[in-house]
Structure 1
């Protein structure tokens, strides 16, 4: 069957194999070599794919490994009310989980993987979120600890109006903390989603701002 594949199909297969087994400079180097390999093995692409799979493994194996990292998430049934979660909602939820439980370089790395995770778990985003909560903790966990330590300060800065003031004043980090806490307390509050829209607009993410605005409209 591999012998009947087109050049584009073989190139895509090789890219998938390399991408699932390598990273960084090594991956870039291997991807750049695909066209040269196809020329060299013209008419023998089936053998080329077989060689790549034997050396680096099949992409399906890598996906299976990823799924094994979150066995509980795969086994959990989808919670009612989350089956129609939008990509923006899933992104925001994952970002909130990571920001609430991770810091520094690890946080930057995890946020950078969100889009790739959403692509890989297309249609299974509630399960992905369950896995993230199992592994890292629920969104707002750190904020809840802070609130317990200093409840007066939390009350003072918490709320839509105060959050909008933070956004206007350029204090995006504090604004995001407030928004994450508010959305975890009441995800169906349209005012909070409108505030999220303002936040994303202020940092130049117009697409996500629009999605939050539409979410707010759907709740009114």
Structure 2
């Protein structure tokens, strides 16, 4: 029984890791569609999302099977409940990449991003992909130290998001309200994508130790 539980948990974490890579690729493609006003790429992200949703449903089903068939207790139960939460976090990351692609499609053939802010989104897109890959690594390793490192990696995204607002609030902004709204929403999508990657790391820390990252730091 214990061996079966371990095998199923490994399989679930492997699937969750693959989903992290998928949302990273989706965000990478959505970012390129945004920067290049590439309608074909945006449409591809949107159409591919159905396949991701099917994988998400598969991961949920695996977690339900663990809950129903393995009669988990204590730490095992914590891991399975955490699995449900991880599915939700990754699912939301996929939805945010989808939102970016839909903005690019909605504004086509115009470019969504004024030149003054395009560079911010190049870097935010790069960081988003990096965080998604880091989340995969954390899920694979189940190492709290790796997870704590990912928590720190989110700071760069937060800094970019803050600086983005200084550009839009400058008196020299000449792109109107509609552009400002688009840029504000898009910046929020990338920030939230990073936040969900951080939440994955936090949940892995809790699954592995039964403590939050803050409690671990206090204990060290």
Q: TM-score, normalised by structure 1?
A: 0.26
Higher RCO, Cα 8 Å, sep 6+? 2
Name the structure with the higher helix share. 2
* Larger-gyration structure (1/2): 1
